[in-house]
Chain A
Amino acid sequence: MTDNDAPPVIVRDLVKRFGDFVAVDRINLEARRGEIVGFLGPNGAGKSTTIRMLCGLLRPTAGQALVAGYDVAREPERVRQRIGYMSQKFSLYNDLRVIENIRFFASLYEVPDSVLKERVSWILDMAGLSGRKSTLTGTLPSGWKQRLALGCAVLHRPPILFLDEPTSGVDPISRRQFWELIHTMAAEGVTVLVTTHYMDEAEYCNRLVLIFQGRIVASGSPTELKQRAMTGELVLVECAPLGLALDLLRQTPDVADAAVFGNALHVVVPEARTMIPRLRTHLSQHGVIVARMEPIRPSLEDVFVSLTAAQGAGGKA
């Protein structure tokens, strides 16, 4: 056991290989008490694999992970008593009633009888399921299921919580409610490690870890990342035809990057003020009709695209 000031999660050079495939490649990480750390990255980047290793569900190939002061490879059972885990796929029992699921997991975590009643009503309140105690879990809407799953994962008041894409397939209002819960818990000192591929959700995190092809490509607070990652300024271009404009912009010197975002283009340039008139003329000359062109603040998605593009290029070189 380590002292109270030690970070609840310490990851050193963690590696996971499946055959020849390197799913997680020497990840280093620390999470403080009460911190919400978001793992951001495309599917297959290694986010879930990392979370599963930290929960003691997968054996690391190399490296070390200390969770709540215990080595996940050597003492997974001690780790399990101190963490809550919510998997990507809903994994409570659909054929049990809400209250039966709660009682089942409470018993597995050996929640003492003296506090059980209070915990159960806390979970029901939190998940907004007070009137649905006897509903079969399988018949609940997905947002309610997620909240119930979260409730079951925190029944034993774990100091560390691992959430693997907790809000996939959940409507925006439920997602918001869910994140409010996470923030409440973090405020009470719970360390939360969460994976997501929703960029808007990433903004809720204190710290982000961008994972690409098994490696951490950047980390920092959302604001830090935006400032640090973008070398230059961002310009929004609404025009038609989009494809032609993209090709033209990519060939233009001084344009660091250009990418499609929804029905517009995001273009990275050294200085927006001087570049906008030049680009406007250039595009018009080649028959592109420009509806709008203005500087914008970069979103996390821009940061992510820019960083992964850099990684992809670096990988090829």
Chain B
Amino acid sequence: MRWHRLAAIVRKEILQIRRDLPSLLITVAMPLLLMLGFGYGVSFDIRHIPVYVYDRESSQQSQDFLKRFQASEYFNVMKTVDNYQAVIQALDAGACRLAIVIPVNFSEQLKTGGPVSVQALIDATDNNTANVSISYSEAVVQTYNQQIQLEWLQRHGQARLQPPLKVDARTWFNEDLESTANIVPGVVAIIMAVIGSFLTSLTIAREWERGTMEQLVSTPVTPLELMVGKLVPYFVIGLLDTALCAGMAIWWFEVPFRGQWSVFFLSCTLFLIVVLSLGYFVSVVAKSQLAASQAALIATFLPAFLLSGFIYPIDQMPAVIQVTTHLIPARYFMTIIRDVFLKGTSLPLLLDDLLALALFAVLLTILATRAFQKKLS
């Protein structure tokens, strides 16, 4: 590798990038938009489930019970109706996901101590929301039960009775159980994968399309010089984009950053080398900008989204898929970036994942250099 030629390629790429304003804009706008889109769009928190209420009794006690639904941030009581027909219509139309029906003799039966059934009608087309609706409803009923029992006991002179067993839950790393804290660092990883491979997927294909490759391959430049020379400017852009995304994660989405910047920087460097080389490889093989950019998007986005543990925890996947995820570089980076952000994990504990990334970086750069032939076809 000759320094002179390498520097020439780097300079040339920078000049071309600077003159290509639309592409330059994409490199800033794309991470920004993706960050906002994913940051706000993807959320696993289920809150404000729309609820209809049909109170057949309308007593003080039934109203008192229903107020607990109203008070919960998980439910949003939209409307009180006075017949079944309205309930069914609302569920059909999707106006509510949950309908609570209070029986006619609600307070009377409570007094006699007999079990009272409160009906909950649930739209279970989205099973996840349905499950959450059931457990949240049960939780509301549970606390109401406890209060009634407590009041009964107090009236009978047995004050201050505690439940014998309780869970003392301390949530670590994401104390407020915000899914944003889990998602946003993952989004940073996905954006890096997509942008990184997209940027380089155009470089070689563009030279073929514009015919400049014919002149380039007639010079003594080596495939390694060409690749390194083309990747260096995009590596810098990739790092700037990463900084932009990480900055938004920390200051806009208020995700805690507890790890060491050096570990973060090291892992980002390795991951960028992986995705940039992948994009370059695709560009060499495809020889057309359109085909290359599409292939690069599919090759990085889908695995990073589905198989990296971003949405679906890897240990919940079928065994075969779990094994497959080891071939996805984003999987290792996903672990690292979440741990660095939320747990503040230090280098020794992340060594395995970092080594895996480094291995991919080496393999892909070799693959990309080998794939490029200084020949016309």
Chain A residues near B (Cβ < 8 Å):
52, 55-59, 76-77, 80-81, 83, 85, 87, 89-96, 100, 103-105, 107-110, 149, 152
Contact = CB atoms under 8 A, between A and B. Distances in A.
B11 interface: yes
Contacts of B20: 95
B211 A96 contact: no
B5 interface: yes
A95 B219 CA distance: 19
Contacts of B217: 57
Contacts of B8: 103-104, 107-108
B12 A104 contact: yes
21 contacts: A57-B217, A57-B374, A57-B375, A58-B375, A76-B374, A77-B220, A80-B218, A83-B218, A85-B215, A90-B211, A91-B215, A93-B12, A96-B16, A100-B15, A107-B5, A108-B8, A108-B219, A108-B220, A109-B220, A110-B220, A149-B215
A96 B4 contact: no
| Interface residues on chain B, size class | 20 to 34
Interface string B205-241: 0000011111111111110000000000000000000
Contacts of B5: 107-108, 110
Most chain B CB inside 10 Å of its own CB: which residue of A57, A92, A103: A57
Given A52-B376, A76-B374, A110-B2, A104 B11 contact: yes
B19 interface: yes
B90 interface: no
Contacts of A80: 218-220
A108 B221 contact: yes
A8 B217 CA distance: 21
Contacts of B19: 95
A158 to B, nearest CB: 11
Most chain B CB inside 10 Å of its own CB: which residue of A92, A95, A107, A149: A107
A184 B74 CA distance: 86
Contacts of A81: 220
Interface in B14-36: 15-16, 19-20
Contacts of A89: 211, 214
B12 A100 contact: yes
B286 interface: no
A58 B376 CA distance: 6
Contact of B212 (A57, A92, A103): A92
Contacts of B291: none
A57 B213 CA distance: 11
A152 B214 CA distance: 13
A77 B220 CA distance: 6
Nearest to B225: A108
A107 B374 CA distance: 18
B273 to A, nearest CB: 24
A105 B211 contact: no
B7 interface: yes
A96 B215 contact: no
Contacts of A92: 212, 215
A113 to B, nearest CB: 9
